[in-house]
């Protein structure tokens, strides 16, 4: 395997004591949230959904593809966007720099075994998304302006007794932080600095890049969710194709090493002495990074699919099952394979997040690899920021009233600038911890209401079989 390391991109080498203290707090916060109980909730909940549904999301996977292709579109149904737009909006948030930077962070922290548990997270997440997103349509509610809305907070408010309402508030509060664009802005800024300044960026560069990104984000989010979805539909397919071709180039050049890499992913995942704290440590790292990537059980995807024009909750739930496949099983796997084949993750140094992935592609493809990765990262980060605004605005509107949502746009744009200028460790851990907090109300409410989805699923597919 090729282990040459390019020095084009580095993380920040020095920072203030205050920033160090903030990093320590953020790390402890994330570790506390992403402990064994939350992993059990996500994995155990997903397995519960799988068994209760009798593997319907897997057996009927083709139905989700048919929904995506427009066979079951109902333009006159309640909702804001089409099925395709709903999936594009959901994917534009999940297929972000977590697919590039998050995977790199997982491998550095947990070794190859973390990739295996990311796969497990995605496979189980298919069943989880089926249930959570079906509920997002089944129990839509009206905001303070009378507009129909979907999301875990509305599911909890509409379907569960009042004692559960604090969970809705917890989701909305955590969502305000978890959906902010700071991680995307931070990692895209690091990549641009490395490519534009050859690793020697002046002090003013992060602020300039942040302001420029804020301008791009603002030009889209002020057009509302339909514009966000249409931009995602236009950009994401091209990005996926380019990334697959880049990965294929690296794989072909190291074809004989691929079986060894795949074996190490499985063996390290089950090893009691694996990097990252042994079996349990690697599992925690992989599951948390997998959830950060595909968001199954987190609840953000429920807000996107809850806006779809449909009166059939199960239909939208089946469409949502495509998300973890595209996001984690395809795109995240591409990143992991390239990093592991390059060997850079084993070398001590200051590479982290997207800088590690960038050096891997640069070492394998030269300047072309770096340029193509910059193109992919630009699409991933900007589309994620676009959708993150929609999610955050819905959480904000739920807490203070929908009439105040327009003002959230300005706060979101400022968060882009802030994210571009702070430490990656602070940003990543705060966002990751918030995602974990969002998963608690989402999973609890979905488990309680799961029998409703299972019953509706049986009725829906019985009707589909009758019609066909």
- Please report whether residue 48 resides in a domain: yes
CATH no. for residue 361?
1.20.1740.10
Query: What pTM was estimated for this model as a whole?
Result: 0.82
Find where tokens 């979905």 sit: 446
**Cβ–Cβ < 8 Å for 80, 309:** yes
Q: How far apart are CA 46 and CA 135, in angstroms?
A: 15
Task: Note whether residue 12 is domain-resident.
Answer: no
Calculate ∠ Cα 163-165-169, nearest 5°.
145
Residue 211, both tokens? 């302001």
- pLDDT, one tens digit per residue, over 337-365 is 988 888 777 664 555 567 788 888 888 88
Please report whether residue 2 resides in a domain. no
Tell me what pLDDT residue 9 has: 40
Residue 129 lies in a domain: yes
Instruction: Write down the pLDDT at residue 314.
Output: 94
- Answer yes or no: is 419 within a domain: yes
Residue 310 sits at the vertex; the CA angle it makes with 304 and 312, to the nearest 5 degrees, is: 105
Total count of domains within the chain: 1
Alpha-carbon distance of 92 to 162, in angstroms, equals: 33
Residue 8: inside a domain: no
Question: Residue 427 corresponds to which tokens in the numbers above?
Answer: 């940003």
Contact residues for 37 (Cβ-Cβ < 8 A; gap 6+): none
Please say whether the beta carbons of 425 and 26 come within 8 A.
yes
Cβ distance 193 to 209 under 8 Å? yes
Residue 53 gets which letter from DSSP? T
Would you state the pLDDT for residue 199? 59
Q: Hey, which residues does 308 pair with through a beta bridge?
A: 81
Look at residue 93 and tell me if it is in a domain: yes
- The segments of the chain whose pLDDT lies below 70 read 1-16, 18-19, 96-97, 194-202, 223-225, 227-229, 271-280, 292, 346-353, 423-425, 467-468
Judging by beta carbons within 10 Å of its beta carbon (0-12, 13-18, 19+), is residue 348 exposed, middle or buried? exposed
Tell me the pLDDT tens digit for each residue of 125-172: 999 999 999 999 999 998 888 888 899 999 999 999 999 999 999 999
Asked whether residue 3 is domain-assigned, the answer is no
Range of the domain at 151: 17-467
């Amino acid at each position: 395997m090729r282990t040459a390391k390019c020095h084009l991109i580095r993380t920040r080498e020095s920072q203030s004591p205050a920033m160090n203290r903030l990093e320590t707090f953020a790390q402890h916060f994330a570790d506390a949230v992403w402990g064994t109980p939350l992993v059990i909730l996500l994995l155990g909940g997903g397995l519960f959904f799988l068994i209760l549904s009798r593997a319907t999301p897997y057996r009927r996977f083709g139905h989700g593809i048919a929904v995506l292709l427009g066979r079951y579109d109902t333009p006159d149904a309640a909702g804001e966007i089409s099925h395709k737009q709903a999936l594009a909006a959901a994917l534009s948030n999940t297929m972000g720099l977590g697919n590039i930077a998050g995977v790199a962070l997982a491998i550095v922290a947990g070794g190859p075994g973390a990739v295996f548990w990311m796969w497990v997270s995605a496979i189980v997440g298919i069943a989880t998304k089926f249930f959570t997103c079906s509920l997002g349509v089944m129990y839509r509610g009206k905001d303070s302006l009378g507009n129909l809305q979907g999301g875990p907070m509305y599911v909890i408010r509409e379907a569960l007794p009042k004692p559960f309402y604090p969970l809705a508030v917890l989701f909305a509060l955590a969502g305000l932080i978890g959906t902010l664009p700071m991680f995307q802005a931070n990692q895209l800024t690091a990549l641009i600095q490395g490519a534009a300044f050859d690793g020697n960026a002046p002090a003013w560069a992060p602020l300039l890049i942040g302001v420029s990104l804020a301008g791009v984000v603002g030009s889209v989010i002020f057009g509302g969710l339909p514009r966000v979805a249409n931009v995602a539909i236009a950009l994401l397919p091209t990005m996926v194709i380019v990334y697959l071709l880049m990965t294929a180039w690296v794989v072909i050049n190291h074809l004989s090493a691929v079986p060894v890499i795949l074996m190490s992913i499985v063996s390290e995942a089950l090893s009691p002495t694996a990097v990252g704290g042994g079996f349990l440590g690697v599992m925690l790292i992989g599951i948390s990074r997998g959830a950060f990537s595909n968001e199954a059980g987190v609840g953000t995807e429920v807000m996107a699919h809850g806006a779809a024009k449909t009166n059939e909750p199960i239909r939208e739930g089946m469409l949502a099952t495509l998300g973890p496949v595209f996001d984690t099983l395809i795109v995240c796997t591409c990143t992991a394979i390239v990093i592991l084949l390059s060997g850079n993750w084993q070398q001590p140094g200051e590479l982290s997040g997207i800088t590690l992935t960038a050096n891997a592609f640069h070492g394998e493809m030269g300047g072309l690899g770096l340029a193509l990765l910059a193109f992919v990262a630009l699409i991933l980060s900007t589309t994620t920021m676009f959708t993150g605004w929609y999610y955050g605005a819905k959480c904000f509107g739920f807490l203070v009233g929908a009439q105040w949502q327009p003002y959230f746009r300005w706060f979101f744009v400022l968060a882009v600038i802030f994210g571009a200028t702070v430490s990656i460790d602070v940003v990543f851990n705060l966002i990751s911890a918030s995602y974990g907090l969002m998963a608690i109300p989402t999973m609890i409410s979905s488990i309680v209401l799961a029998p409703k989805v299972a019953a509706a699923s049986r009725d829906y597919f019985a009707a589909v079989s009758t019609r066909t």
